[in-house]
A and B are shown apart, each in its own frame.
Chain A
Amino acid sequence: MPSTSHHPDPGVKRGRGVVVGILLASLLSVVASPATAQNQHSMAGMGDHPRIAIPPGALYTVADVTFLQGMIAHHAQAIHMSRMAARHQANAAVQRLAIKIEQSQVAEINIMQEWLARNGQFVPDTASWHTMQMSGMLTAAELQELDAASAGAFDRTYLTLMIQHHEGALEMVRDLFATAGAAQDVDVSVFANDVVTVQTAEIGAMRQMLSQLADQ
């Protein structure tokens, strides 16, 4: 019988296609990669991605493609942050939240990568967070602060930075929805709404957890 220990292997997939291979390799590399390779790319200048071409008749826009590409990096950094929790002996509630965020966002990265691949767009891997700086994402200094936090201080730092991180994701969705013609593709629209719903709820839960830390 499976136990309740949480060591999901997000890369175990029986599916076909190159995406799966990239995902497997890169998710594993998230754990091992140093947290210092960030650069200061803005959302507008997303590194070395190929120019985005929208096929005639498509319902999606450049904004949809850049949103998903950027959100892959955004999620990948959240997973990187969350995988620190066990190592830093976070309290049980924070560890469970971290596992939940990891499992949720691994699944969402799959969805985003599948959409981009299906539509013939460039598919960032999960190492992309090293080279992309989306809103709410931690700077190299903030990541260092998190990784250097003592066992007692980690919980507060993690929750505070993850709230910031989530609020950045909400801002990315707001920017997407504010772009004329964007998010009409139903997959993008459903996904973006899910991000808002889930991360809004998680921000509420994290604020609650922070206030409980403050009580101690």
Chain B
Amino acid sequence: MKSARLGPTSILAKAPTGIAGFDAITEGGLPSGRTTLLLGGPGSGKTLFALQFLVHGARDLDEPGIFVAFEETPARLLANFEGFGWKLRQLRRKALYFMDATPMPDLELSGDFDLGGMLAALGAQAKQMKARRIVFDALDIVLALLPGASARRREIYRLHDWLLSLGLTGIITAKAEGDSASSHDAHPYSIMHFMVDCAVILNHRVTHGVSQRNLRVQKYRGSSFDENESPFVIGRNGFDVAVANTLGRAELNVTSERVGSGVKRLDTMLGGGYYRGASVLITGFPGTAKTTLSSAFAAAACRRGERTAIVSFDSDGAEVIRNLASVGIQLDRHVKSGCLRIISARTITGSAETLLVRIKALTKEHKARCLVIDPVSTLFRAGNELTAHGVAERLIDWAKADCITLVCTSLLDDMSGRTDAGTQLQISSLADTWIHLNYLVQAGERNRGMSIIKSRGTGHSNQVRELILSDAGVTLADTYTAGGEVLMGTLRWEKEKAERVAADIAEVAAKLKRVRLDAEEAVLEVQAKSLQTELLAKQVEKTLLTRTTESRELELSRGRTRIRELRGADRALTGRK
């Protein structure tokens, strides 16, 4: 019951335009069976938009269409839009009818007229070919021929009623300068604004010589839509409207797969490498080896056999190859094998939006899984200030959605201050991994330091490492901290040498001590021996002494007895014996 009260669902039926981005903004396309007003200045892309809408219907949705041309003859239209590869001539036979309604040059006017005849003719044609879509291109031309505002109003109503009665999904294009609501009052289209169910305004501005196009849905009855201006470019396949990340979008393919950065120790520092599909930002001043680091990644990707594209805004492909060969990164064989594509975008001028579209198209064409943009800060060139941030956002968004691992370098121009601060593009907050390269000037040397400022979802080293470029490639060296300062280059080397010498000295000292101790021990041992010998001698002497004393006493007593015997004066003591 409740759902029935919400009204007929046909209100929300949408007719897809086939214009990338536009269908996302309007959540499906133009209101089906209703009229859309498309306003814009000369060259803003009205005809293209309308024609693309018809082509999409005729070619892809089995909805034949009619194009009523008030401004350009069908022959000219076909010639002008041949370049988009829409096979207009082929479609024209079956599902696309062009009505030449350009006012004849010899047209004579007398009095009032109306579009009734044309609409009757169109109605017959629409029935015959079962048309579902119709475009009135440059209605303002024919309205201008009508005498007076009331006649114009009448014809607009006639047209609107006719469209509704046939249930065709219609686009009416008309010239209008600017986007200011006040100016519309003077226009005959002011009533059209109230009449139509959807109004789209195309703008074309030039800022600092750079063309910027954008589109805005002004109203859309019965549907929600993105109300902001959306930049678009006219590309090889027609319109391409940039869409910001919308809430309703499908979940991203998030993987925990890691991809090597091309520098072994950096992989270790990141706990295994970048995540697949991550966006890596490498910032640094000129000459801090941003290109080298990003190319090392590209070379590693090619070695793994992943298709890779490098978009270089600084130098030509051949230059890139030569310069990187000097640091042991060989790209030429990957280019030859077709795995790597180097796109020199130095000469591409245009808005940031144009560049993004080109990058997208080339990446798709190459089926790249890894993409290097060197430097992404080019997007920020003059004239793009307003859009660059949005473009960078969408770049990262798009890469993520397609699971492309993106490595961007970004130049920091400002040598003073802001060394670790955000980049101009402020994409640092969007990037998953942010590596900062810096110069450290110490002891008359300039050395490259590398640190990981952030890396979402991966543990990472907090240390500043020294980045060394040599013939052998890119390596990271440990740095020494002494007194709170990081040592690099020669200082680091000196420190390393000093440590080596200190170790040597310590070793020698230990050896010396051992020898000395050995000597002392030996001396003591010798002394001990001699003392023992002396002791022995003393003992011998003592024994000798005892013995001589005894013998002498014996001799003495023996002698006295003898003397007595000889004297004979005394009683021989013998008897006593």
State yes or no: do A and B come from one complex.
no
On B, residues with C-beta under 8 Å from A are none
On A, residues with C-beta under 8 Å from B are none
